[in-house]
Amino acid sequence: MLEVKDLHVCVEGSEILKGLSLTILPGEVHAIMGPNGAGKSTLSAVIAGKDGYEVTSGTITFEGRDVLDMEIEERAQAGLLMGFQYPVEIPGVKNIYLLKAALNAQRAARGEGEMPAPEFMKLVKEKLAYMKMDPSFLQRAVNEGFSGGEKKRNEILQMLILEPKLAMLDEIDSGLDIDAMKIVAEGVNSLRQADRAILMVTHYQRLLDYITPDKVHVLVDGRIVKSGDKNLALELESRGYEWVVEESAA
């Protein structure tokens, strides 16, 4: 589904990713862990197409398409959706408008017409209830004045409605108390299905107690230095990152 090959990325002249390769198959849940500054957030930002990241070599393909050749919104319309670590506030733009516009853009890209309003509202209300969010939330401006937990729940709500093929979650657990994390994790788990993959970037093992990954990768200094199953995460939790760093240096 997603194939990253020997990816080198520079930010303001310094190389952050130094030959990263990663293959994600449909139905899989991948977790990328690593110490601060390893380049974890850079990977999802590059896949999403954020400005300021220069790909110096390597390729990213998604379902056979060259991702680096696609506009930001084309990537999203193709099913590559990112859950932001710090969701941005957009004053005056209601949540409901953003959801409707995003869904319509995706449907238009697939050659489908707009979803009729009643059907759309039914869908939104159902997902809203699932995320234990109040309907008044739809009338509020995107992320404006939201608590950290509300912002993260909003990110997952958008995922549930936009149904991406590959959901990338960047530090989706940061700043969440345990109750909020359970709701967010439940939302993410409900996304799991045979034709959809999830890529999580996280610093802590804690999230993985609630969302069990199929594969865990350790990212150190711009490269994946070790991959394994969920037990690798547990090992990182008890032993820290140092041993992996040493092992990879050896």
Partner 1 sequence: MATEEMEQLVRREYTQGFVTDIESDTVPPGLDESVIAFISQKKGEPQWMLDWRLEAYHQWLKMTSPSWAHLSYPPIDYQAISYYSAPKKPEDRPQSLDEVDPKLLETYEKLGIPLHERAALAGVAVDAVFDSVSVTTTFKDKLAEAGVIFCSISEAIRDYPELVRQYLGSVVPQGDNYFAALNSAVFTDGSFVYVPEGVTCPMELSTYFRINAANTGQFERTLIVCDKRSQVSYLEGCTAPQRDENQLHAAVVELVALEDAYIKYSTVQNWYPGDEDGKGGIYNFVTKRADCRGDRSKVSWTQVETGSAITWKYPSCMLRGKDSVGEFYSVAVTNGRQQADTGTKMIHIGANTKSTIVSKGIAAGRSDQAYRGLVKIGPRARGARNFTQCDSLLIGDRCGAHTFPYQEIGNSTATVEHEATTSKIGEDQLFYCRQRGISEEDAVNMIVNGFCKDVFQELPMEFAVEAEALLNVTLEGAVG
* Interface with partner 1 (CB under 8 A): 48-51, 71-73, 75-77, 81-82, 84, 87-94, 96-98, 100-102, 104-106, 109, 114, 117, 141-142, 158, 162
Q: What is the C-alpha to C-alpha distance for residues 229 and 234, in angstroms, rounded to an integer?
A: 10
127 three-class SS? helix
Token pair 């506009």: residue? 71
Q: What is the DSSP string of 179-218?
A: HHHHHHHHHHHHH-BTTBEEEEE-S-SGGGGTS--SEEEE
* Helix axes 242-249 and 230-239, enclosed angle (nearest 10): 110
Nearest-approach distance from CB 179 to partner 1, in angstroms:
26
Residue that has been written with the tokens 């056979």 in this structure: 64
In the complex with partner 1, the residue whose CB is nearer, 103 or 236, is: 103
Specify the amino acid at residue 144: E
Least spacing, CB of residue 76 vs partner 1, in Å: 4
Q: Residue 151 is which amino acid?
A: K
Question: With respect to partner 1, which residue has the nearer C-beta, 157 or 245?
Answer: 157
In degrees, rounded to 5, the angle at the alpha carbon of residue 63 between the alpha carbons of residues 80 and 124 is 35
**In the bound complex, what is the minimum distance in angstroms from residue 241's beta carbon to partner 1?**
29
SS3 88: coil
Report the residue number, 104 or 174, with the smaller CB distance to partner 1.
Answer: 104
The CB-of-159 to partner 1 minimum distance in angstroms stands at 10
> Toward partner 1, which CB reaches closer, 101 or 129?
101
Minimum CB distance to partner 1, residue 170 (Å): 11
> If you count them, how many residues does the chain have?
250
Contact criterion met (CB below 8 Å) for 169 and 188: yes
**Closest to partner 1 by CB, 107 or 206:** 107
Least distance (Å) from partner 1 to the CB of residue 102?
4
Q: Which is nearer to partner 1, 11 or 96 (CB)?
A: 96
